[in-house]
Amino acid sequence: MDCPDVRELLDAYALGAAEKREAQQLEEHVADCVRCWEELTQAQQSAALFAFSITLQEPPTSLERRILARAAQERDAALRGSTPLLRRLRISWPVAAGAFGLAGAAALAFTAFLQVQMSDLRDDRDNLMQQVAEARVRLDDQNQIFNVLFDPNQQTKMMPAVATGSSAWGEYHWSKTAGQGVLACHDMPPLAEGEVYQAWFVAQDGQIPAGTFESTDGDCWYPMEPARTPVGLTGVGITREKRGGSNTPGEWLLFASLRS
Amino acid sequence: MPDVSPEEIAYSGLDDEELMERIRYRDLKAFQALYRRYTALVYSTCLRVVRDPHIAEDMVQEIFLRIWRKPESYVNQRGRFLTWLISVTRNRAVDEVRSRNRRLRHESASPAEQDFQPPAPPADDPALSAELADQRRLILGALAVIPSEQREIIQLAYFGGLTQQEIAERLGQPLGTVKTRIRLGMQKLRAALTPQLRWEDR
């Protein structure tokens, strides 16, 4: 495929409409032809902007929580698998040095070793930043619980089980001073695979998702999200939903009316 | 109903490249800011292609988590982040449709007019930031000058994931006509978007 052929096909390729065989030939050509590559880049930019022609819609707000929770979870898992910095530095260099007897080879190896260690140091810096960020999230949660429970003017409302025969119960604690609320729950019915508990604010114009959480023993202390309590609340409650949460509450497990 | 803290406001002031740099250091707030900036665009593109809100949500999750897991897959020397993100999104959505063989179910004979709207001021679209709203206004203005038969074919290719041959079969038009219309339509689009493309090169 030569330059004129490629230019005939650029737009179709950028739109993803080229046949597979033609697309492969074009890719082989632009790999060696700077000019066609530049024209292809421009065609791809035009094609990408096409996405703006559609009417934009927001996904459910629960999706953000689901994605962020997953991201945090994966970051934590990576942290747990990391090796402490000092131990690795102490042990691995003598082992590496012993593997090379000749001076020239050792010098070469030392350079390579330093590169690896630099890479490790970068990884460790990344891990430290992860730990700081994660600790800050936990601290925010703990602060919210502290702010509410240690407010001398804290208010509490009993949250009884809605289903007959359930032994679950809870309490909603809130602080007007802090503008924050915390849920405590006990003896909650177990979660099935893929389920989470979801907290809800209930206001006059509808229910507001307040985050999801899990509990292995049926008890919980849960700082409500958003941390700043919405105004005009008429109730709070907990439901059981699929992981990722819901936009509308299913069956209430616990509920408390906040109407005075 | 996100609670916007001063810190989040500060993050929202960072440009895409700065957010991506922080994401490389596993900064969850930067990831959240990037998500909030582009979630509507990514979700809407997925939804436009796959026509199923649940699948579109799953794809948004997959695309953003891919960014979180492998931020190095975006190389800023190759172009702007936004162009890259849209390409990744569109290609992933089309792959999804192909793999699920849903094409016949969700493609109507003439989808071109379904989503096309006359240019609207940014204020009509609160989901967009001012910069994105400007780009949207620009592309809608550019699309308005493309004849409908060219626009229809381009949209079938881009959102429908159809090849030129498949479009020709779908519309009962000669393959040569389809190729010409794609080329002419894209040329007009590029001409109308020249200021934008210059901006992209900065």
* ipTM summary value: 0.77
- Name beta bridge partners: A254: A161, A238
Structural domain ending residue among the three candidates A147, A167, A192 = A147
Which of A10-14, A29-33, B42-46, B57-61 has the lowest average pLDDT?
A29-33
Predicted confidence (pLDDT) per residue in B16-56, tens digit:
888 998 898 888 889 999 999 999 999 999 998 888 899 99
Residue ranges per structural domain of chain B:
1-106, 109-202
A121 and A201 belong to one structural domain: no
Report phi then psi at A183, rounded to 5: -100, 140
A235 and A182 belong to one structural domain: yes
> Domain holding A190: CATH number?
2.60.40
- List the CATH code of the domain at B1-106: 1.10.1740.10
Q: From the CB of residue B81, how many other CB atoms can be counted at a distance below 10 Å? A: 18
A73 and A166 belong to one structural domain: no
Pick among A6, A15, A62 to test the B interface (most B CBs inside 10 A): A15
Contact A14, A47 (CB under 8 A): yes
A137 and A226 belong to one structural domain: no
Predicted confidence (pLDDT) per residue in B147-165, tens digit:
888 988 998 898 888 899 9
Cβ of residue B134 closer than 8 Å to a chain A Cβ:
no
For residue B49, the distance in angstroms to the closest alpha carbon of chain A comes to 10
- Our separate counts of H helices and E strands in chain B read 12, 0
A94 and A175 belong to one structural domain: no
Stretch A29-58: mean pLDDT, rounded? 84
A85 and A49 belong to one structural domain: no
Pick among A54, A75, A233 to test the B interface (most B CBs inside 10 A): A54
Domain hosting residue A188, numbered range: 155-257
Q: Find residues 57-116 of chain B whose CB sits inside 8 Å of chain A.
A: 57, 60-61, 64-65, 68-69, 78-79, 82-83, 86-87, 89-91, 94, 115-116
What's the residue count for chain B? Answer: 202
**In CATH, what class is B109-202?**
mainly alpha
pLDDT (0 to 100) of residue B105: 47
DSSP calls for A75-134: HHHHHHTPPPHHHHHHHHHHHHHHT--SHHHHHHHHHHHHHHHHHHHHHHHHHHHHHHHH
- Name beta bridge partners: A257: A235
For residue B199, the distance in angstroms to the closest alpha carbon of chain A comes to 11
A73 and A138 belong to one structural domain: yes
A244 and A183 belong to one structural domain: yes
A214 and A246 belong to one structural domain: yes
Structure tokens at A107: 């010098």
